């Protein structure tokens, strides 16, 4: 029995338009090596599914439905915001994890997530060895934040980037045509609490300084109200309108988020009005321009309908490579995307040791931000452009996308003790 171990796959943290493509890559690659890997069990709601022994037997799903994961947004098996801490603090959880793995003869752990899950993955590999039931733990990269080190980009990011670039360019054409008598300033709020990667992608919509977006507000550049308003005014006076892309993480010099402006509502509750609203009202109050604003929120990271073909291919590739690395005996690694050329974009996949991945954030390099702080540089554009290339449309029926329809048959529990979260 031990010669053919099962695999456990779980999704972690915020989901993306293409995280299920990574699931598809893992499951299809495992199915292609049935001689070496038993079944792939997926955690219902991520790692919680392992702790509570609540797993889905993916071997009961048809090849067609597994393949349909390629065009299905969200997390097909459920994800979780649940961080395992250090080995000492969270020893009970780690031990329970290994107990479950042992009970279900799981020798491979594929953890699909961002920085936190890379850390968990690393620790599972360490502790399982110590507990005498070594598990090969492979981290499958995923995060719209694009902040994992070593890898050229993180699957999920390219599709958000494409959505934001396309949406910015469409909305800009709308505002441009209304500006004479109506809206002059349009603000689009995008995700990115710590790094401005997604906001930067909005910059792809325009090639010259007069093109929209005229202003990008990045978390990396302290917000200066005077300079900002001056730039808005300049843009409206020159181009008749102004398009602003603002990161939800945009902040003042002292680290306060724009969105956290300390205002309270009628009930005395702190206003959580987003950055876009704050910025838009600032423009109206100080300059008197009519504004509109949009908050993309979950729409941006679930927009499978306009996913990047490059991103989709990479999401699948890291899932597949994770299985191949496991079969090659690797442990505590992450398949990283290595860029070998910009134009045309070329990349391959290499194993990056998790010790070098865990707990490191890749920030936007300074050379990607224009000297005035309001835009992106040619180097940034060169980096971002290939990531949004190609369209990969889902199939449609009656005007709506068709998604995977999984049976999600649970794996029979084997442990006597229920686990309380």
Residues of this chain, 305-334, that bind a second copy according to CB under 8 A: 305-306, 308, 310
CB-CB neighbours of 253 under 10 Å: 9
Closest alpha carbon to 205 in 240, 175, 236: 175
**Position among 90, 281, 370, 377 found at the interface with a second copy (CB under 8 A):** 281
Q: Are 106 and 7 in contact (CB under 8 A)?
A: yes
**Position among 89, 210, 297, 405 found at the interface with a second copy (CB under 8 A):** 297
Q: Are 225 and 282 in contact (CB under 8 A)?
A: yes
The three-state secondary structure class of 6 is strand
The three-state secondary structure class of 95 is helix
Q: Which stretch binds a second copy (CB under 8 A): 62-70, 115-123, 158-166, 354-362?
A: 158-166
Strand 400-401 relative to strand 396-397, pairing: antiparallel
Residue 208 found at the interface with a second copy (CB under 8 A): no
Number of residues that bind a second copy (CB under 8 A): 83
Residue 359 found at the interface with a second copy (CB under 8 A): no
**Position among 59, 67, 105, 302 found at the interface with a second copy (CB under 8 A):** 302
- 124 vs 388 by CB, closer to a second copy: 388
Q: Provide the greatest CA pair distance for the chain.
A: 74
The three-state secondary structure class of 129 is helix
Q: Which stretch binds a second copy (CB under 8 A): 245-253, 331-339, 363-371, 387-395?
A: 387-395
Q: If you search the block for the tokens 């070496």, which residue do you land on?
A: 36
Whole-angstrom distance, CA of residue 252 vs CA of residue 2: 56
Residue 178 found at the interface with a second copy (CB under 8 A): yes
* DSSP H or E segment with residue 177: helix 157-178
Q: Are 41 and 55 in contact (CB under 8 A)?
A: yes
* Rounded alpha-carbon distances, angstroms, from residue 382 to 134, 339, 385, 386: 42, 12, 6, 8
Q: Which residue(s) pair with 136 in the sheet?
A: 108
Here the tokens at position 300 are 């941006």
| Start-to-end CA span in the chain (Å) | 31
- 308 vs 314 by CB, closer to a second copy: 308
- The CB-of-184 to a second copy minimum distance in angstroms stands at 12
Interface pattern 106-145 for a second copy (x via CB under 8 A): ----------------------------------------
Residues 119, 145, 152, 311: which is the catalytic one?
145
Residue 379 found at the interface with a second copy (CB under 8 A): no
Q: Which of residues 10-49 bind a second copy (CB under 8 A)?
A: 11, 14-15, 17, 45, 48
- 346 vs 360 by CB, closer to a second copy: 346
- 276 vs 334 by CB, closer to a second copy: 276
Whole-angstrom distance, CA of residue 215 vs CA of residue 232: 8
* DSSP H or E segment with residue 282: helix 275-287
- 195 vs 278 by CB, closer to a second copy: 278
Any catalytic annotation for residue 145? yes
- 48 vs 349 by CB, closer to a second copy: 48
Residue 385 found at the interface with a second copy (CB under 8 A): yes
Whole-angstrom distance, CA of residue 167 vs CA of residue 149: 28
- 267 vs 416 by CB, closer to a second copy: 267
Whole-angstrom distance, CA of residue 90 vs CA of residue 94: 6
Q: Which of residues 329-358 bind a second copy (CB under 8 A)?
A: none
Whole-angstrom distance, CA of residue 322 vs CA of residue 33: 13
Instruction: Give the number of C-alpha atoms closer than 13 A to the C-alpha of residue 92, restricted to the C-beta side.
Output: 5
Q: Which stretch binds a second copy (CB under 8 A): 23-31, 178-186, 247-255, 366-374?
A: 178-186
Residue 175 found at the interface with a second copy (CB under 8 A): yes
- 361 vs 391 by CB, closer to a second copy: 391
- The CB-of-50 to a second copy minimum distance in angstroms stands at 13
Residue 239 found at the interface with a second copy (CB under 8 A): no
Q: Which stretch binds a second copy (CB under 8 A): 1-9, 218-226, 300-308, 366-374?
A: 300-308
**Position among 96, 184, 304, 320 found at the interface with a second copy (CB under 8 A):** 304
Q: Which of residues 70-99 bind a second copy (CB under 8 A)?
A: 72-82
Residue 213 DSSP code: P
Q: Which of residues 256-275 bind a second copy (CB under 8 A)?
A: 261-267, 269, 271-274
Closest alpha carbon to 218 in 146, 158, 153: 146
Q: How many residues does the chain have?
A: 421
**Position among 31, 401, 413, 419 found at the interface with a second copy (CB under 8 A):** 401
Catalytic positions, please?
145
């Amino acid at each position: 029995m031990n010669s053919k171990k099962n695999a456990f796959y779980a999704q972690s943290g915020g989901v993306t338009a293409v995280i299920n493509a990574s699931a598809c890559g893992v499951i299809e690659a495992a199915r292609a090596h049935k001689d070496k890997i038993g079944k792939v069990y997926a955690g219902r709601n991520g790692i919680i599914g392992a702790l509570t022994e609540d797993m889905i037997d993916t071997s009961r799903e048809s090849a067609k439905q597994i393949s349909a994961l390629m065009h299905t947004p969200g997390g097909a098996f459920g994800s979780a915001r649940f961080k395992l801490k250090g080995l000492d603090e969270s020893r009970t959880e780690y031990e329970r994890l290994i107990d479950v793995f042992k009970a279900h003869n799981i020798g491979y752990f594929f953890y699909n997530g961002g920085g936190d899950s890379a850390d968990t993955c690393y620790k599972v590999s360490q502790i399982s060895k110590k507990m005498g039931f070594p598990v090969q733990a492979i981290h499958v990269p995923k995060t719209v934040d694009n902040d994992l080190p070593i890898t050229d980009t993180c699957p999920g990011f390219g599709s958000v980037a494409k959505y934001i670039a396309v949406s910015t360019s469409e909305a800009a054409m709308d505002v441009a045509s209304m500006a004479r008598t109506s809206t002059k300033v349009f603000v689009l709020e995008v995700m990115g609490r710590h790094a401005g990667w997604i906001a930067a992608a909005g910059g792809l919509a325009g090639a010259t300084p007069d093109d929209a977006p005229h202003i990008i507000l990045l978390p990396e550049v302290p917000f200066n109200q005077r300079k900002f308003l001056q730039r808005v005014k300049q843009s409206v006076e020159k181009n008749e309108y102004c398009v602003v892309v603002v990161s939800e993480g945009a902040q003042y010099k002292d680290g306060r988020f724009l969105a956290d402006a300390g205002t309270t509502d009628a009930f005395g509750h702190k206003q959580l009005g987003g950055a876009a609203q704050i910025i838009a009202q600032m423009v109206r109050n100080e300059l008197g321009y009519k504004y509109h604003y949009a908050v993309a929120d979950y729409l941006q990271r679930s927009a499978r309908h306009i996913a990047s073909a490059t991103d989709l291919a990479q999401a699948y590739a890291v899932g597949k490579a994770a299985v191949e690395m496991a079969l090659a005996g690797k442990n505590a690694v992450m398949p990283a995307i290595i860029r070998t050329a910009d134009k045309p974009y070329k990349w391959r996949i290499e194993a990056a040791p998790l010790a070098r991945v865990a707990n490191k954030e890749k920030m936007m390099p300074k050379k990607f931000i224009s000297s005035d702080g309001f835009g992106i540089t040619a180097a940034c554009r060169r980096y971002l452009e290939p990531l949004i290339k190609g369209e990969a449309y889902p199939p449609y029926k009656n005007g709506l996308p068709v998604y995977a329809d999984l049976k999600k048959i649970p794996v029979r529990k084997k442990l006597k003790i229920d686990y309380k979260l």
